[in-house]
Every structure is written in C-alpha cells, then in structure tokens.
C-alpha cells in the first residue's frame, strides 16, 4: 500500500512525523485531499480541521488537528505542514480556552483603539473562538 510521509510542525514543536495513508488539508479556498502521487504544490492554510488518515497497520484511525493559518508543501517525498497555530482536537480544554480568551479581551481592551498591538489579542481571541467551536462540534463543550 502506498503511503505519504507527513511532517506536521507548529511554532513550538513537531506535532507529528510519520507515514499516513492520506490527509485532508484546510485551505483558504476549501479542503484539499492529498494521496500518494499528488502533484507538487504549496498552499496557504486557513482555519479549520486537518484530518490525517493513518495507515491500517497503525490502527487506521483519523487524527484531527485544528489549525489556524500556515502553509503546506506537497512534494514527491510527502507533505510538510507548517501551521501558525495547531492543536489536536482531543487536546482542547474548553475551560482553559475560555479563561485565555477572557484574559485576551481584558488585555486588548486596555490598549487604545487604533493601536496596532490590539491585533495580537484579536488574533488570540479568534484562535480561542476556533478552539471552542471545534470542541463544541466534538461534544467537549
């Protein structure tokens, strides 16, 4: 059976490295399925859930990772995913995410309107909202 080598990286660590049967990326223009033999491509990643379909010998399950932004490179050796933000869907703690979001709101609101530093907190709030939405869809809320 053909397989892809997948390397999934987020800024602070390697999230996954190994073979997969196939995967589905989330891009700004929709989902992109990748199987062995896929044409070389570089794509910009959007917000949503990337699905890694594991090999049958590795259990055949699907690993789901919520991401926000980044890039993926597909080449003859496999796929490299460089995500701006990434977390496995089964690793979301809604209460912690809510606390983080509230702290980001508080910090942002202390910065004057029009100050570019507010963007950092806006991005953090959007990431928390995406995590909470994903957790609710998975019955974790």
DSSP string, 51-73: EEE--GGGT--EEEEEEEEEEEE
22-27 and 47-53: which strand pairing? antiparallel
Q: 97 and 82 in one domain?
A: no
> pLDDT of 38-61, one tens digit each?
999 999 999 999 999 999 898 889
Alpha-carbon gap, residue 12 to 63, rounded angstroms: 19
- For 106, phi then psi, to 5°, come to -60, -45
Q: 112 and 49 in one domain?
A: no
CATH of residue 10: 2.60.15.10
Q: How many structural domains does the chain have?
A: 2
In the numeric block, which tokens belong to residue 34?
Answer: 């990748």
Closest CA to 43 of 53, 54, 33: 33
Element (H, E) at 128: helix 118-137
> pLDDT of 89-116, one tens digit each?
999 999 999 999 999 999 999 999 999 9
| pTM, two decimal places | 0.91
Q: 57 and 103 in one domain?
A: no
Contact in structure between 120 and 71 (CB atoms under 8 Å): no
């Amino acid at each position: 059976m053909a397989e892809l080598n997948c390397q999934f990286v987020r800024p602070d660590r390697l999230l996954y490295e190994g073979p997969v049967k196939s995967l589905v990326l989330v891009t700004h223009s929709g989902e992109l399925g990748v199987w062995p033999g896929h044409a070389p491509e570089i794509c910009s990643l959007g917000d949503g859930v990337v699905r890694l379909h594991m090999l049958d010998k590795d259990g055949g399950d699907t690993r789901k990772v919520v991401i926000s932004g980044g890039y993926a490179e597909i080449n003859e050796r496999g796929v490299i995913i460089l995500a701006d933000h990434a977390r496995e869907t089964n690793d979301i703690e809604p209460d912690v995410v809510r606390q983080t979001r509230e702290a980001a709101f508080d910090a942002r609101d202390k910065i004057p309107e029009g100050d570019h530093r507010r963007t950092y907190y806006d991005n953090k709030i959007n990431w928390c909202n995406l995590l909470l939405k994903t957790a609710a869809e998975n019955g974790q809320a």
